[in-house]
C-alpha cells in the first residue's frame, strides 16, 4: 500500500462510524437540491458560446439614446457658460491676496507669575467684535483682541456711484487666511465683510430695502488705522 493512503488503512483496521452510510446517503440526497439552488441563484457569466454577425457601424444598446456627440457637447458648453456667469456675479476686486503666517497674526503672550505658560495669543491685526460680545475672565482668555485694534465702521466705496460711505460693519463673511481667523473676526487685506447699507437706500427688484451687503477690504487696516473696502455689487 502506498505511504499516503493512511486513511484507507485506518478504515480497514477500525471500520466505519455506525452512522457513516446513513450520513452518506443523506448527503447525496441533499446534493441534488443544492445543485438546483446554485443553478437558479448564481450570477456567473451567461454569455452565449457563439456570437451573431455584427454589421458595420452598428451601435450597442447603451449608445442608442445618444443622437450625436455634438448635441452633448453643446449641452456641456452651455452648462459651463452658466457656471461662469454665476461665478462672475461674485467677482471680487482682489481675487488673490498674500497668505499670512500664524506668527504674523498672533503674538505669544507669556502668562502667570513665572511667565511659564505660552498658550495665550494676542492678535496683532485689526479685528471686528460684535456688540453682544462678552469677554472671558482674563485668566481663561486664549485669544486677546486689543481694544485699540477693534473696528466697528468701514469706509466703503460704491464702484458704480464712485462715492465713499462710512458704514457700520455687521459681521465678517470670510477671511482668506482660514476659517479660524473668520471666527475670531480678524480683518486683513482681502477679507469679505458685511456692511449695513440701509442709509444708501438700495432696493431689491421686489421693492424691499436692502439692509446688508458684502464688501471686500482693500487695505491693511493695522497699518492705516482705518478700513477701506469696495462694495460687491
Lowest mean pLDDT of 38-42, 105-109, 170-174, 210-214, name the range.
Answer: 38-42
How high is the pLDDT of residue 226? 95
Q: Domains in the chain: how many in total?
A: 1
How high is the pLDDT of residue 83? 81
pLDDT tens profile 176-220: 999 999 999 999 999 999 999 998 888 888 888 899 999 999 999
- Cell numbers for 42: 448564481
Give residue 233's pLDDT band: very low, low, confident or very high (50, 70, 90).
confident
Residue 179 lies in a domain: yes
Is residue 79 over pLDDT 60?
Answer: yes
Residue 161 lies in a domain: yes
Residue 223 lies in a domain: yes
Residue 222 lies in a domain: yes
Residue 30 lies in a domain: no
Q: Domain of residue 160: give its range.
A: 102-231
Residue 33 lies in a domain: no
How high is the pLDDT of residue 89? 62
Is residue 2 over pLDDT 80?
Answer: no
Is residue 18 over pLDDT 80?
Answer: yes
Cβ density class 58-82: b for 16+ within 10 Å, e for less: eeeeeeeeeeeeeeeeeeeeeeeee
Select from 136, 139, 175, 168 the least CA-distant residue to 152.
168
Quick count: other Cβ atoms within 10 Å of Cβ 165? 16
CATH number for the domain harbouring residue 145: 3.10.290.70
How high is the pLDDT of residue 203? 87
Q: What is the mean pLDDT of residues 157-172?
A: 94
Global pTM reads 0.60
Q: What is the mean pLDDT of residues 16-41?
A: 95
Residue 78 lies in a domain: no
184 CB burial (10 A radius; 0-12, 13-18, 19+): buried
Residue 86 lies in a domain: no
Amino acid at each position: 500500500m502506498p505511504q499516503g493512503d493512511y486513511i484507507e488503512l485506518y478504515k480497514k483496521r477500525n471500520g466505519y462510524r455506525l452512522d457513516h452510510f446513513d450520513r452518506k446517503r443523506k448527503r447525496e440526497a441533499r446534493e441534488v437540491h443544492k445543485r438546483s439552488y446554485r443553478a437558479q441563484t448564481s450570477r456567473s457569466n451567461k454569455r452565449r458560446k457563439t456570437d451573431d454577425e455584427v454589421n458595420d457601424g452598428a451601435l450597442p444598446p447603451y449608445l442608442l439614446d445618444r443622437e450625436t456627440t455634438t448635441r452633448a457637447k453643446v449641452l456641456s458648453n452651455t452648462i459651463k457658460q452658466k457656471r461662469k456667469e454665476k461665478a462672475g456675479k461674485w467677482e471680487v476686486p482682489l481675487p488673490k491676496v498674500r497668505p499670512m503666517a500664524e506668527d504674523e497674526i498672533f503674538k505669544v503672550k507669556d502668562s502667570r507669575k513665572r511667565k511659564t505658560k505660552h498658550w495665550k495669543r494676542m492678535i496683532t491685526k485689526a479685528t471686528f467684535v460684535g456688540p453682544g460680545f462678552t469677554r472671558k475672565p482674563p485668566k481663561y482668555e486664549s485669544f486677546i483682541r486689543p481694544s485699540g485694534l477693534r473696528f466697528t465702521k468701514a469706509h466703503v466705496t460704491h464702484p458704480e456711484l464712485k462715492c465713499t460711505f462710512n458704514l457700520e460693519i455687521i459681521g465678517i463673511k470670510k477671511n482668506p487666511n482660514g476659517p479660524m481667523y473668520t471666527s475670531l473676526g480678524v480683518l486683513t487685506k482681502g477679507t469679505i465683510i458685511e456692511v449695513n447699507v440701509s442709509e444708501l437706500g438700495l432696493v431689491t427688484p421686489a421693492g424691499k430695502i436692502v439692509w446688508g451687503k458684502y464688501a471686500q477690504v482693500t487695505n491693511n487696516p493695522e497699518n492705516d488705522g482705518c478700513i477701506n473696502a469696495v462694495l460687491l455689487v
